[in-house]
Amino acid sequence: MGLTGELFIATQRVAGANGTFRAVSPATGAEIEPPFTLATVDDVEAACAAAEAAFPIYSNLPREKRAEFLEAAADEIDALGETLTERAMAETGLPHARLTGERGRTVGQLRLFAKELRLGEYLRARIDHAIPDRQPIRKPDLRLRMVPLGPVVVFGASNFPLAFSTAGGDTASALAAGCPVIVKGHSAHPGTAELVAGAVTRAAQKTGMPAGVFSMLNGPGNSVGSALVSDPRVKAVGFTGSRSGGTQLMKLAASRPVPIPVYAEMSSINPVFLLPSILEAKAEALGAAFVGSLTMGAGQFCTNPGLVLAVDGPALDRFLVAATDAVGVAPAQTMLSPGIHKAYESGVARMASSPALSQLAAGQEPGGPHCGRAALFSIAAKDFIADAEGHSEEVFGSASLVIRCADADEMLSVIGHLEGQLTATVHLDESDTDVARKLLPLLERKVGRILANGWPTGVEVTDAMVHGGPFPSTSDGRSTSVGTLAIDRFLRPVSYQDIPAALLPADLADGDAGIPRRVDGKPTL
Ligand code: NAP
């Protein structure tokens, strides 16, 4: 079936009656057919009502049934094959290999959450049996498990049109938790969103899910998105995008009569620390590898290395010569959307106009519209500290700032002036261990993932991954949006006290429930 431009409300394709829009090719600036319809307030109402009606049914399905739905969604997305990849290429300007990989990651995430459901560990089931004759008072029977929050609204991300959009990590983890999902489609890739929404809808129908388990609406964030977040039936929000958008949604959610959590991933500049001994030994190789990470995907990753810290001296000079050379030959790359390109250009212009910054290098001249040129700047640590907030603003794209520190102590002192980050990277060898020992506890307070001798771009989807961090990298640093722990965001604990056995959920019954549980203080399998 070709693209129809319709919305998805509770497994039905519905034409929105609020006008239409078309995707824009970032490579050519031309509009791409077909037109996509925009949701009305009635569509928001219908999607929320359907999600609310689906919740008691969907959340109480056996975990195996929800796992089968997630796997069927993965199969349906796989089956879209090149149709999906080609549409996503046209709408985002991202290359074929990247999108093929991202499709693999998207279906892999759905299947990983199916596995998580079967494992059942996420339920954190605990049983504390009663002690009827305990003195001075009886100890009651207490049993705990995690339950889903209710309908979740997901804002698709522009920079991961598959893995962090319609059926991406937020959607997969919310569906796994037992929450119906309403996606606010990103206006930059509506065709990609429609193809994926169709796949999820077919999977819901094939596996017998309640209709309102999944809906997808297109429309402006400040009307359709806000209406969804304000709806009393919505119980949580997942978002990836700009700091301003994320913080506005946080305020909106907090100002509701019943506030709800917003899990927003917003801005991070991902500091990279080059410790003295390894810098001395490998300055040139580090300089070239850094630029490889900086320019990957036109720098449009939340984990892009936007800040580098090192002690000033000949080794840093050698690093900068190598990095400057690599930036100088880096081709300009098509960015995700005209808006993102414009924001990048103005961010680079702001850096270039700062008297405290020196521009070291610029990438190749653009060969077409909406192409971003890499840019490299440096600053003295004392100048950075003097206006840390101003110099820490994320410039989404391949721009980075190198901080020249007088010594290792000054490098450590800069950390206190940094905002919360998704990642921090440390390049070190054995002789750097003493500095690293001081560095790591400082970084733990600022970031969600600390990595050694690598580059922050590239996020594995595994059980032990944290893709989160203190504000403003995310709105809630206690969580992750990548990896199986992401399911926690859409759950809350309920305790059952002295509930008769016949009424207890199967996962909390006596005997072998087939899941890991803590029974009377002892872990059991
Ligand atoms: P965005 O402007 O924040 O938009 C993301 C989504 O949120 C869109 O669907 C948008 O709706 C909606 N939205 C934005 N503000 C809203 C509000 N106040 N109320 C309700 N909904 C709202 O992000 P973007 O379009 O993806 O990219 C713009 C900038 O975000 C980039 O230049 C970059 O700085 C940053 N960004 C950062 C990351 C990261 O991982 N750190 C990733 C992507 C983007 P519309 O359809 O109306 O636009």
Mind listing the pLDDT tens digit for each residue in 129-140? 999 999 999 999
pLDDT band at 368 (very low <50, low <70, confident <90, very high): confident
User: What residues have CB less than 8 Å from 57, skipping those under 6 apart?
Assistant: 210
Ligand 1: centre distance to CA 159 (Å): 10
What pLDDT, on a 0 to 100 scale, did the predictor assign at position 274?
A: 98
Of all protein residues, whose CA lies closest to atom 38 belonging to ligand 1?
A: 241
pLDDT of residue 417: 97
Q: Ligand 1: which atom is nearest the Cα of residue 395?
A: 34
Question: Cα(186)–Cα(200) distance, rounded to whole angstroms?
Answer: 17
Q: Alpha-carbon distance 342 to 326, whole Å?
A: 24
AA identity, residue 410: E
Whole-number Å distance between alpha carbons of 205 and 387: 55
Element (H, E) at 519: strand 517-519
Percent of the residues in the chain that have a pLDDT greater than 70, as a whole number: 100
Task: State the Cα–Cα distance between residues 523 and 525, nearest whole angstrom.
Answer: 7
Q: Which domains does the chain have, with CATH numbers?
A: 8-95+149-266+477-485 (3.40.605.10), 271-452 (3.40.309.10)
The mean pLDDT of the chain is 97
pLDDT in tens, 424-464: 999 999 999 999 999 999 999 999 999 999 999 989 999 99
Beta bridge partners of 143: 127, 496
Q: Tally the residues of the chain.
A: 525
Listed in order, strand segments (DSSP E) in 428-516 are: 447-452, 491-497
Nearest CA to ligand 1 atom 9: 186
- 121, 320, 334, 493 from 524: Cα distances, Å: 11, 55, 53, 19
Mutation pick for ligand 1 pocket among 155, 158, 394 (CB with most ligand atoms within 8 Å): 158
Distance CA 165, CA 339 (A): 18
List the residue whose alpha carbon is closest to atom 13 of ligand 1: 221
Segment 140-160, tens digit of pLDDT: 999 999 999 999 999 999 999
Residues having CB closer than 6 A to ligand 1 are 155, 157-159, 184, 186-187, 220-222, 225-226, 240-242, 245, 248-249, 265-268, 302, 340, 343, 394, 396
Measured CA to CA, the distance from residue 401 to residue 391 in angstroms comes to 9
Active site residues: 265, 302
Strand order of the β-sheet with 12-14 is 12-14, 7-9, 214-217, 181-184, 152-155, 236-240, 262-265
Ligand 1 atom nearest residue 158's Cα = 26
By the 8 A CB rule, do 462 and 443 touch? no
Tokens, residue 485? 């722990």
Cα of 235 to ligand 1 centre, how many Å? 21
b/e 366-381 (16+ beta carbons within 10 angstroms → b): beeebbbbbbbbbbbb
Find the farthest-apart pair of alpha carbons in the chain and give their distance in angstroms, rounded: 81
Which letter does DSSP use for residue 139 in this model?
B
- Pairwise CA distance, residues 171 & 373, whole Å: 33
Average pLDDT over residues 102-114: 98
Which of ligand 1's atoms lies nearest the C-alpha of 187? 46
Ligand 1 geometric centre to CA of 176 (Å): 25
464 φ, ψ to 5°? Answer: -95, 10
Q: Calculate how far, in angstroms, residue 245's C-alpha sits from the geometric centre of ligand 1.
A: 6
Contact 409, 309 (CB under 8 A): no
Distance from the CA of 486 to the center of ligand 1, in angstroms?
21
Place 525 in a pLDDT band, splitting at 50, 70 and 90. Answer: confident
Is the distance from CB of 118 to CB of 64 less than 8 angstroms?
yes
How far apart are the C-alpha atoms of 88 and 512, rounded to whole Å? Answer: 46
Distance separating alpha carbons of residues 486 and 502, to the nearest angstrom: 32
Nearest ligand 1 atom, CA 219: 46
Q: Determine which residue's CA is closest to atom 31 belonging to ligand 1.
A: 340
- The CA distance from 445 to 420, in Å, is 8
How far is the C-alpha of 460 from the C-alpha of 304, rounded, in Å?
15
Please tell me the distance between residue 230's alpha carbon and the centre of ligand 1 in angstroms.
18
| Cβ-based neighbours of 320, under 8 Å, separated by 6 or more | 287, 360, 378, 402
**Per residue in 182-241, pLDDT tens?**
999 999 999 999 999 999 999 999 999 999 999 999 999 999 999 999 999 999 999 999
Structural contact between residues 479 and 95, judged by C-beta atoms closer than 8 angstroms: no
Residue 1 predicted with pLDDT over 80: no
Question: Which of 352, 392, 396, 354 has its CA nearest to residue 376?
Answer: 352
Which residue has the least CA distance to atom 32 on ligand 1? 340
Q: What share of the chain is helix, strand, coil (3-state, %, to 5)?
A: 45, 20, 35
- pLDDT value of residue 421: 98
State the closest ligand 1 atom to the C-alpha of 226, by its place in the atom list counted from 1: 20
* Residue 336 pLDDT greater than 70, yes or no: yes
Residues 330, 364 contacting (CB under 8 angstroms): yes
**157 contacts 186 by C-beta, under 8 angstroms:** yes
Secondary structure (3-state) at 424:
strand
Bridge partners, 474 (sequence order):
265
